[in-house]
Structure 1
Amino acid sequence: MQLIYTGKTKDVYSVDNNQVLLKFKDDVTGEDGVFDPGANTVGLTIEGAGKSGLKMTKHFFEILNSLNIPTHYVSADLDEVSMTVKQAKVFGKGLEVICRYKAVGSFFRRYGAYCEQGQPLDTFVEVTIKDDERGDPTISEDALAMLGILSNEEYQTLKTLTKKICDIVKAELAKKGLELYDIKLEFGRDAVTNEIILIDEISGGNMRVYKNGEYIAPLDLEKDFLG
């Protein structure tokens, strides 16, 4: 295997048949030693975070694949803390798609003059550009199209897939009395078919989840959800 990319929370290796291997790390995003799924820097290292994230990712991707929702997922090896996926091309230099059910995090920081903390949102979808230097700015559908990153039609596909996927994740969590406040997804194009597919991971490190009004940390979430 050849290392082709070193990321914040996982490393990427090339394998055969237009596939890559993702090795999950124990690093999580945050600031000043505090976990934050929306942060664009590694904030801390939590022992077991990699395997915990992979367990949840495996669970959700297998559900999505069974429902014929297009993803990059092929298989996972929990012992090796790795996941084999289809090779994909990112949009531009990478996009993140956030789906929000409650006004928290950066949404509340930006729009707090117009809403209350934790105020319900109607499956609100927003897109940010992966750009650490510029603080991962949000970008509109029109700007994505004008800059040649994503066509208007592709944006609508992205938005529709996001709502469908996030509603499935939300419903799964609700079965265990857990409430999803927001979640961050990534998409790309299948390197072979060019189809828009869900990539990266679906884990506690990508979402804010509460139980009885109390925030659940990623490792606790995995134990609560899959335990």
Structure 2
Amino acid sequence: MAMKKGHEIARGKTKVLYELEGQPDVLVVQQQDAITAGDGARRDVIEGKGRIAAKTTARVFRLLNLCGLPTHYLSGGEDDDDNEMLVRRAQMIPLEVVVRGVAAGSLVRRRPGIQRGSLLVPRLIEFFLKDDANHDPLIDPDTIVAQGIASPSDVATMTELARITYEILAHAWRRRDALLVDLKIEFGRLASGEGKGQLVIADVIDNDAWRVWPQGREDLMLDKQMYRNLETVTPADLEHVKARYEQVAEIVGTFPQMRPGMVAVLIDGPENVPLAEPVAQELSRYGLPIVRHVVSAAQTPGYALQLLAQLDATFARIIYTAVGAQPGVAVLGAMLAANTANAVVATATSPVQAASEAALQIAKTFALDDTVLFGRVLLMQANARSEVLSADARLNAPPPAPPPGVARA
């Protein structure tokens, strides 16, 4: 069902933006059926491409939202939405941020010393100024700041968010035996409402925004590069491109799905029940469900083993952590580990540090095959690094200037 659109805000090569009727702070993004290359020098129309692009973008943004990343996406984008999705209005920053995990494209043309197809670790992050007339030139961070396009803090935030976004999507593609070669994203600042001024991932992320090589083979590419590589474009070529775009949209549709899992918090004795609360709180930060039981390796070993067998039989994916005080909790942890094929995370013996460490290890274990949890772990780690750097900056900040007329000791 088409959304009620108000004034047209902007029109690009492959999409049109409208105000949502009655809500000027919300925009309708309508994807078009055009496909272009060479900054619009080549242009064709593939009937249904707008529908495919809208689905792909919505599904990517749903994944990013589930991981906790800031985006402008609200809803829509599926088949019954008439190629349209709703987003929060944002003032776009005129930059394309490209994250490269494999050497390809313009990088190998600009830097012939890098072998095509080689892995790039750490990831290479580049900025390009959005300027079609000059073919979106490469621009370095110092120039971005000098020209007032973005602040040093904004550049650092975009770099970190772009890297995390790439790693999340690369994880999702790896689980489907495909290599995410590179990724292009854009950013904007929320124009109003809650979080006004916040930097968010914006625009679209569809099959035009990345290179994807199934089995790591460039000849099996699923992305827009197929179209760019065509010497001439025939109707059969466009049908082939459309089929690949449809395939990508269906694959991406599985990205935002969390795999159900359970964490069993087994508490060594009733006196240690209060110690389980910090563990539960830390696990909730990752969105992990838990069950809690009081057992005792010393006093009720039979019950502990019976409960362990019941939990193993009930949940397809379960991880255990033992909570309590030493030395009893170490015995409980060893008992669990010896009698289950599922993971038993290091026991939690203090309410703060150990609870955080146990929750992180549990989340990492589930994240091996759950992209949402993988993204949440990456974001938690990034936030922890940011807290360290902020604390260091505060510690080393110069003291405030004394009021006028007050001598400094």
TM-score (structure 1 length as normaliser): 0.90
C-alpha contact 1:97 1:184 (8 A) present in aligned 2: yes
Looking at structure 2, the residues matched to 224 and 47 of structure 1 have their Cα atoms a distance apart, in angstroms, of 20
Report whether the alignment pairs 1:81 with 2:88.
no
Q: 2:32 aligns with which of 3, 19, 25?
A: 25
Question: What are the superposed Cα offsets for residues 30-62 of structure 1, whole Å, 9 maximum, x if unpaired?
Answer: 14xxxxxxx565533222221111112111211
Runs of 4+ in 1 over 4 A off after TM superposition: 39-42
Instruction: State the partner residue of 2:180.
Output: 180
Number of aligned positions between the proteins? 217
| Closer/same/farther in 2, CA of residues 149 and 131 from structure 1, 3 Å limit | same
Report whether the alignment pairs 1:161 with 2:166.
no
Looking at structure 1, the residues matched to 173 and 250 of structure 2 have their Cα atoms a distance apart, in angstroms, of 12
C-alpha contact 1:5 1:12 (8 A) present in aligned 2: yes
| Closer/same/farther in 2, CA of residues 148 and 109 from structure 1, 3 Å limit | same
Looking at structure 2, the residues matched to 72 and 98 of structure 1 have their Cα atoms a distance apart, in angstroms, of 19
C-alpha contact 1:72 1:85 (8 A) present in aligned 2: yes
C-alpha contact 1:74 1:85 (8 A) present in aligned 2: yes
Report whether the alignment pairs 1:128 with 2:131.
no
RMSD across aligned C-alpha pairs, in angstroms? 1.7
Q: 2:249 aligns with which of 209, 222, 225?
A: 222
Instruction: State the partner residue of 1:209.
Output: 212
| Closer/same/farther in 2, CA of residues 41 and 64 from structure 1, 3 Å limit | farther
Instruction: State the partner residue of 1:170.
Output: 170
SS at match of 1:22: strand
Instruction: State the partner residue of 1:196.
Output: 199
Letter in 1 for 2:12: G
Letter in 2 for 1:5: A
Question: What are the superposed Cα offsets for residues 149-177 of structure 1, whole Å, 9 maximum, x if unpaired?
Answer: 11111100010000111111111122211
Q: Which has the higher helix share?
A: 2
TM-score (structure 2 length as normaliser): 0.51
Looking at structure 1, the residues matched to 64 and 252 of structure 2 have their Cα atoms a distance apart, in angstroms, of 17
Report whether the alignment pairs 1:97 with 2:97.
yes
C-alpha contact 1:97 1:125 (8 A) present in aligned 2: yes
Letter in 2 for 1:197: V
C-alpha contact 1:40 1:135 (8 A) present in aligned 2: no
Offset of residue 145 of structure 1: 0.6
The one of the two structures with greater contact order (alpha-carbon pairs below 8 A, sep at least 6) is 1
Instruction: State the partner residue of 1:49.
Output: 49
Looking at structure 2, the residues matched to 88 and 136 of structure 1 have their Cα atoms a distance apart, in angstroms, of 21
C-alpha contact 1:98 1:182 (8 A) present in aligned 2: yes
Letter in 2 for 1:45: V
SS at match of 1:216: coil
Instruction: State the partner residue of 2:115.
Output: 116
Looking at structure 2, the residues matched to 7 and 42 of structure 1 have their Cα atoms a distance apart, in angstroms, of 15
SS at match of 1:205: coil
Q: Which has the higher strand share?
A: 1
Letter in 2 for 1:46: I
Instruction: State the partner residue of 1:6.
Output: 11
Question: What are the superposed Cα offsets for residues 163-209 of structure 1, whole Å, 9 maximum, x if unpaired?
Answer: 11111111112221121001110101111210000001111111100
SS at match of 2:96: strand
Letter in 1 for 2:28: L
C-alpha contact 1:100 1:182 (8 A) present in aligned 2: yes
| Closer/same/farther in 2, CA of residues 216 and 126 from structure 1, 3 Å limit | same
Letter in 1 for 2:130: K
SS at match of 2:208: helix
Offset of residue 222 of structure 1: 2.4
C-alpha contact 1:8 1:41 (8 A) present in aligned 2: no
Letter in 1 for 2:47: E
Offset of residue 225 of structure 1: 4.3
| Closer/same/farther in 2, CA of residues 175 and 41 from structure 1, 3 Å limit | farther
Instruction: State the partner residue of 2:144.
Output: 144
Looking at structure 1, the residues matched to 179 and 68 of structure 2 have their Cα atoms a distance apart, in angstroms, of 25
Offset of residue 24 of structure 1: 0.4
Letter in 1 for 2:154: E
| Closer/same/farther in 2, CA of residues 196 and 5 from structure 1, 3 Å limit | same
